Amino acid sequence: MDESEIARLRFSYLDLLVGCLCRDLFPEAEPDVDPSTRSEGRDWPAHAETMIGRRRLENLLESLAAVLTADIPGDLAETGVWRGGATILMRAALLAWGDVDRLVWVIDSFQGLPTPDPDRWPADADLDLSGIEALSVSRAEVETAFARYGLLDDQLRFLEGWFSDTLPSAPIGQLALLRLDGDLYQSTWESLTHLYPRLSPGGILIVDDYGAFESCRRAVSEFREQHGIREPINKVDWTGVWWQKEQ
């Protein structure tokens, strides 16, 4: 089998998985959902493993292909995984590329979002998502989702707890791709502070909530300014953005 056929099969598998993760392939499962709303990731699905929609899943797949094809060193990680859909796609990409050395870091409190601390993080004062039960997904539920796709194995690392507790001492080395989906200023700032320095040159950073929440956007802007980050920010859709760290 030549390289072009391998690549075709690789992307056929991953595209099929994308359709399963966001349930594009099963509209009968949620007949009242508007397809464009789901594609843009503007609803909270009843059954799908992700709420980020097809375009942001496709952006993740494009980013994974870029770092894996270029062999950018490091693992893959997401901070804030909900039901695990994006990290499931990360693990599937490693399988599709035959990469048995990298890890996927599944980083979440697995109990929803923290209560805002406006004294320390004033940008989060008006964004309290801590009481939303739908955002609280247990580790067991996420592990079940990985197992559903045959991807629960020893190339996964679950980092469970509040980011303020887990990220400062996280046993993570280099990262080739880092995806942030923490909504709050605090979550975004802590993820950037502790993990962005571990992103390899040529690695890709994706921020899910940049357009949706001013608090997230402000954290990104202030972090970039503080650290002199000048790489251009690329828009994915109405909320997601990404940039590639300079080589």
Encode pLDDT of 154-170 as tens digits: 999 999 999 999 999 99
Over residues 41-69, the mean pLDDT reads 96
Give the global pTM: 0.97
Count of C-beta atoms within a 10 Å radius of residue 137: 20
Q: What tokens were used for 109? A: 């409190």
Q: How much is the mean pLDDT over the chain? A: 96
Q: What CA dihedral angle connects 114, 43, 21 and 170, to 10 degrees?
A: -20
Residue type, 244: Q
Radius of gyration of the chain (CA): 17
Return the percentage of the chain with pLDDT > 70, whole number.
100
pLDDT of residue 28: 87
Per-residue model confidence as pLDDT tens digits over 65-83: 999 999 999 999 999 999 9
112 sits in the region (left: phi over 0; alpha: psi -120 to 50; else beta) called left
H or E segment and range at residue 16: helix 3-21
**50 Cβ neighbours under 8 A, 6+ residues apart:** 21, 22, 41, 57, 82, 83, 84, 85, 86
Work out the average pLDDT over 200-222. 98
| Tens-place pLDDT, residues 121-154 | 999 998 999 989 989 999 999 999 999 999 999 9
pLDDT at residue number 244: 98
Q: Are 86 and 177 in contact (CB under 8 A)?
A: no
Quick one: average pLDDT of 230-247? 97
Tell me the average pLDDT across 29-57: 92
pLDDT number for residue 33: 84
Q: Are 176 and 76 in contact (CB under 8 A)?
A: yes
Q: Which CATH class is domain 52-244?
A: alpha beta
Would you list the domain boundaries of the chain? 52-244
